[in-house]
Chains A and B, each alone.
Chain A
Amino acid sequence: MEYTNKDFSKGKPRWCPGCGDHFFLASLHKAMAEIGVAPKDIAVISGIGCSSRLPHYMATYGMNTIHGRAAAIATGCKVANPDLTVWQISGDGDGLAIGGNHFIHANRRNINLNMILLNNRIYGLTKGQYSPTSPRGFVSKSSPYGTVEDPFRPAELCFGARGHFFARAVATDAPGTIEVLKAAYRHRGASVCEILQNCVIFNDGTHESVYSKEGRAKNAIYLRQGEKMLFGENNEFGLAQDGFGLKIVSADDPSVLVHDAHCEDSTLQLKLAEMEAPFPLALGVIRDVDAPTYDDCVTAQIEEVKAKKKYHNFAELLETNDIWTVE
């Protein structure tokens, strides 16, 4: 069956005008239409925060749950019903602060979830406190003299938890976002998509260097499987290895790297994911490696044990015990 954006869309979003969440929501609807899974077979599960309002604007099944627990709730949902396509929506506070534990364990277990991390580096719903992705020294209502802590880098956390999929897109970049969402759906296992998203009220301009198309042309690189790592307004630069690190070379340099998201060793992928100026910011699917998923293994184990064990219902289970008869 053919779907359109409208088949997945419901209600009128109440985010602030200009909020990055509006852009992302539109891309998610479009991606779902292109993916083609019926709304009845989709569950969209969020925690709490501005971005976690998202399920209310979906015409699918879904839950807007409690702060930080979206990944855990999505885990139970997927394991109990592997036929569902489960999208987990969290912000940087929901996913990496209060929900950090569930984030790393969902990645470690490799549950087949599409885990969306809408990163605006700020707590919006509680009106402007620093988040675990705010840079050191960040001034906010709860850090009037600047923070004295380092932020998480989501890719590093994902890889550290043995994550097998990490992609990044900018909310205003619809084609880029749709591309990573579709790749996340295709990837069997936990798929983390970091969406760089602007909070117009409390952290305006946090992703300014890549928020516009022109900015991305100058300051970002789109990584594509099997293609040379080229960037710049006219693709005049390339990325090459430099010892244990990376360096910028000219596009025609024979040492320009070719992207391999499927490489099991994440060393180079991590280098790419963590690039900061003067390097370009990496966008697209950075890591995408096949591995056994938790939900598949649970199902397989049930089948395996079913075939091996002689009891398959409650009455038969009782008979496996030492039983005596009183007459």
Chain B
Amino acid sequence: MVNPLEITEMEDVVVRFSGDSGDGMQLAGNIFSTVSATVGNSISTFPDFPADIRAPQGSLTGVSGFQVHIGSCQVYTPGDLCDVLVAMNAAALKTQYRYAKPSAAIIIDTDSFGPNDLKKAEFQTADYLGEMGIDPDRVIACPLTQMVKDCLSDSGMDVKAMMKCRNMFALGLVCWLFDRDLDIAFNFLRDKFAKKPAVAEANIKVIRAGYDYGHNTHSSVAGVRRIETRNKVPGRYMDITGNKATAYGLIAAAEKAGLKLYLGSYPITPATDILHELSKHKSLRVTTVQCEDEIAGCASAVGASFAGALACTSTSGPGICLKSEAINLAVIMELPLVVIDVQRGGPATGLPTKSEQTDLLQVLYGRNGESPMPVIAATSPTDCFDAAYNACKIALEHMTPVVLLTDGYVANGSGALRLPELDRMPDINPPFVPEDLRGSWTPYMRADNGTRYWAVPGREGFEHILGGLEKDCNTGAISTNPENHDLMTRLRQQKVENITVPDLEVLGDKDDAELLIVGFGGTYGHLHAAMDELRAQGHKVALAHLKYINPLPANTSEVLRKYGKVVVAEQNMGQLAGYLRMKVDGFVPHQYNEVKGQPFNVATLVSEFTELINR
């Protein structure tokens, strides 16, 4: 039945596209977010893919999802639950329905709910909606596959090629639901398939068919929803994932420092896209070496650093285990190195495609000997750019390896990045050994801030040998002298402590919060959203979110001790809480810990924190 068309204005909306991992849900989701961002909506996305590359078609394990949150004002997370769920087959409905709000509209392709499909999705009866307890009035059930076939019947495409366009029909329908401008989607497709114009046009035709279907039927649950844009920060923007933003941060830093960028890496989920991205940009002199193992990835970067490059290695937790020895070599040789750890579920192989914050203590302490090393944690996909840039700046200016922590959620999620201007980024000045020290220079001579000078091979008069053995602080020769080792240990420690990082900012009710939430890295959006919600409910709440973990901001102790009730919320069993307790005298926080491999759920956080406030 067809209702009169309504247009409802909404603050924000969450759409989740789901289907078989071969159904192109990531592409549909990407296009929808780009279309929305282009009109100025705030966006936050989260792709949720299965670990299997191609699980059996239609099976429960093969379902791939892409969630996008669009808002008229700032959105901080991809959203807990969706307002619209697109389920391209029975398995998708079965596994993804739990991410839908009770009021959500559900779009299904009835052609993918045949007896076989239902069996593969482990439905017991033909009444799949009844089995799931879904109200049929909320479902837009359309014979999507057949309509795509009809739409492309005169295209000369074979059925297999036609089926690849099904995602575009769903996209068209969603674009109608949210009154999106199709031209932006068309341009995106013409760009993406620039070399295959026929494919682009077929996709465009199907999007339009999906849009028209929505327009012509706008059945029960429909009605167009409009997300206007408010609080716009003027500027030029692009949609960027965390991994791509990390790669861009490295490129920007290398250019600013005037150094060649070198990445030694080994493929590992969810970090590989950094290698993919950097390997494209040879026209910027970026050198990437896909090494024989994680060890060589890091070891070759140490070699490149010695040779005078901005050297990086990218990996995830299991790779950090293998790189630790070479990282430690950079610690004792005092060479710059940026180690990117895109955290995933552990231990061991763990949950490769899922996200956790469980590597914190590993990167802080997981090496032999006293091995102080700066650690920075990126807070959002777009923040990966700044975090990577600053990791490079610290590494180069303080002659030390630096760990940049991101996670699967931040790395694969995306946001709108305001285009950075390199001229306005802070300078990067490595401590190259001054020419006038020629003749008197020894390898462990230090500048005023305790940093060892950098003598890059090729400079006459500065030939020297570094190494993994302890060195005499004056001569640079191998030394086992007990006093010297004690001194060198302290000098390396002091060098890291001397690094200046920005103060810890307190957001929300900074003067009179009844609860201070403390987090680090990728949970920023969820903790911020939880704080906003609690404050909207009338609670006094503040958030102190750490980005610099080592060294800690100078005001950390002051901030943490200021509030009566503090909760450290993290996706591990309490690693940050334990670290802060060690660093801040008398600090005894409450803890909220979750290790599910999934982003925090804002509603859960709100309920947990409310209970804490009322306790």
Binding site for B on A (CB under 8 A): 11, 38-45, 48, 55-56, 58-66, 69, 72-81, 83-84, 101-102, 105, 298, 301-302, 305-306, 308-309, 311-315, 317-318, 321-327
Contacts and interface: CB of A to CB of B under 8 A. Distances in A.
Given A102-B292, A322-B191, A76 B463 contact: no
B233 interface: yes
Q: Which 7 A-B pairs have the closest CB atoms?
A: A76-B300, A76-B303, A80-B304, A64-B467, A77-B303, A81-B307, A309-B283
B255 A75 contact: no
B283 A79 contact: no
A50 to B, nearest CB: 13
A101 B292 CA distance: 7
Contact of A69 (B326, B421, B463): B326
Most buried by B among A44, A60, A62, A298: A62
A79 B40 contact: no
Contact of B289 (A44, A45, A79): A79
Most buried by A among B40, B255, B282: B282
Given A75-B303, A80-B262, A61 B284 contact: no
B422 interface: yes
Given A76-B307, A77-B304, A302 B188 contact: no
Interface in B251-300: 251-252, 255, 260, 262, 264, 281-285, 287, 289, 291-293, 295-296, 299-300
Interface stretch (B77-85, B128-136, B236-244): B236-244
Given A63-B466, A76-B301, A81 B419 contact: no
A73 B463 contact: no
Nearest to B291: A72
Given A40-B460, A75-B289, A81-B458, A326 B303 contact: no
A79 B236 contact: no
12 contacts: A62-B464, A63-B333, A63-B467, A76-B289, A81-B458, A101-B296, A102-B296, A298-B289, A302-B285, A317-B251, A323-B236, A324-B40
Interface in B201-257: 229, 232-240, 248, 251-252, 255
Most buried by B among A60, A64, A73: A73
A101 B461 CA distance: 35
B307 A43 contact: yes
A73 B238 contact: no
Contacts of A41: 457-458
B61 interface: no
Contact of A76 (B235, B251, B304, B462): B304
A53 B248 CA distance: 40
Interface string B312-326: 000000000000011
Interface in B460-507: 460-469, 477-478
A105 B284 contact: no
B282 A45 contact: no
B468 A306 contact: no
Nearest to A75: B300
Contacts of A72: 291-292, 295-296, 299-300, 303
Contacts of A78: 303, 307
B380 interface: no
Given A40-B463, A81-B307, A318-B420, 12 more contacts: A56-B477, A73-B302, A77-B304, A77-B307, A83-B458, A298-B289, A308-B283, A318-B238, A321-B239, A322-B34, A322-B239, A326-B229
Contacts of B304: 76-77, 79-81
Contacts of B377: none
A80 B237 contact: no
A325 B235 contact: yes
Contact of B232 (A66, A101, A317, A326): A326
A306 B238 CA distance: 24
B329 interface: yes
Contacts of A79: 262, 287, 289, 300, 304
A105 B295 CA distance: 13
Interface in B20-52: 34, 37-40
Interface of B: 34, 37-40, 188, 191, 229, 232-240, 248, 251-252, 255, 260, 262, 264, 281-285, 287, 289, 291-293, 295-296, 299-309, 311, 325-326, 328-329, 333, 419-422, 457-469, 477-478
Most buried by A among B284, B422, B466: B284
B311 to A, nearest CB: 7
B42 to A, nearest CB: 10
A322 B189 CA distance: 11
B41 to A, nearest CB: 10
Most buried by A among B260, B284, B306: B306
Nearest to A73: B303
A78 B305 CA distance: 11
Given A39-B463, A56-B478, A65-B329, A48 B283 contact: no
Contacts of A80: 260, 262, 287, 303-305, 307-309, 311
B458 A55 contact: no
A218 B260 CA distance: 53
Contact of A58 (B40, B264, B465): B465
A311 B283 contact: yes
A69 B252 CA distance: 30
Given A75-B296, A314-B284, A62 B232 contact: no
A317 B300 contact: no
Contacts of B236: 323-326
Nearest to B466: A63
Contacts of A308: 283
A138 B197 CA distance: 69
A304 B328 CA distance: 36
A309 B240 CA distance: 21
A306 B239 CA distance: 25
Contacts of A325: 234-237
Contact of A313 (B232, B284, B289, B462): B284
B234 A327 contact: yes
A60 B457 CA distance: 9
B463 A314 contact: no
Contacts of B39: 324
A83 B307 CA distance: 10
Nearest to B260: A80
Contacts of B293: 101
Most buried by B among A40, A79, A306, A325: A79
Contacts of B422: 314-315
A76 B302 contact: yes
A326 B289 contact: no
A100 B586 CA distance: 50
Given A75-B303, A314-B251, A81 B308 contact: yes
Nearest to B309: A80
A65 B467 contact: yes
A291 to B, nearest CB: 18
A66 B325 contact: yes
Contacts of B325: 66, 69
Contacts of B281: 317
Contacts of A301: 282
Given A305-B283, A312-B283, A326-B237, A48 B188 contact: no
B308 to A, nearest CB: 6
Given A56-B465, A105-B296, A309-B283, A81 B40 contact: no
Contact of B303 (A45, A101, A312): A45
Nearest to B460: A40
Contacts of A102: 292, 296, 299
A69 B291 CA distance: 12
B248 A317 contact: yes
B467 A322 contact: no
B394 to A, nearest CB: 19
A60 B463 contact: yes
Given A65-B468, A72-B295, A43 B238 contact: no
A107 to B, nearest CB: 11
Contact of A63 (B233, B240, B306, B460): B306
